[in-house]
Amino acid sequence: MNESPEARSPIILGVDDLRALPGTTQIARTSREGIRLLEEHRDHRIDELWLDHDLGGDDSIMPIVAVLEEAAFDGRPFDIGMVFVHSANPSGAETMVRVLRRWGYRVRRASA
């Protein structure tokens, strides 16, 4: 169910274990919280999704990338205006960009 942009405030989600990410409407600090956040917004437009690769300890963004990938594979990709990858991990960031673009998501690298 997509609402017109004039009828709602932008939804800007972030997943990052450390950064404050000014401008986000909601932020998750772990991959588990990030998946829950995505599912909460499953049937709504997400204007921006900000993703960091390394989420502390053994946690990474890859479980979230897998959820996005599986949704696209199933023909129901999340409705996301732009995914911003802002990781300081160059190889992790490149993997995220490559996988998400492969599945049709609009992705841009941002400074970490």
Exposure on the CB side of residue 48, measured as CA atoms within 13 A = 19
Alpha-carbon torsion, ordered 25, 42, 17, 58, to 10 deg: 180
Measured in whole angstroms, the distance separating CA 59 from the mean position of its chain's CA atoms is: 15
Angle between helices 62-73 and 31-40 (to 10 degrees): 30
Q: What is the pLDDT along the chain (112 residues), one digit of tens a residue?
A: 555 555 778 999 999 998 888 788 999 999 999 999 999 999 999 999 999 999 999 999 999 999 999 999 999 999 999 999 988 889 999 999 999 999 999 999 987 5
Residue with tokens 């696209």: 72
- Altogether, the residues listed in the chain come to a count of 112
pTM score above 0.85: yes
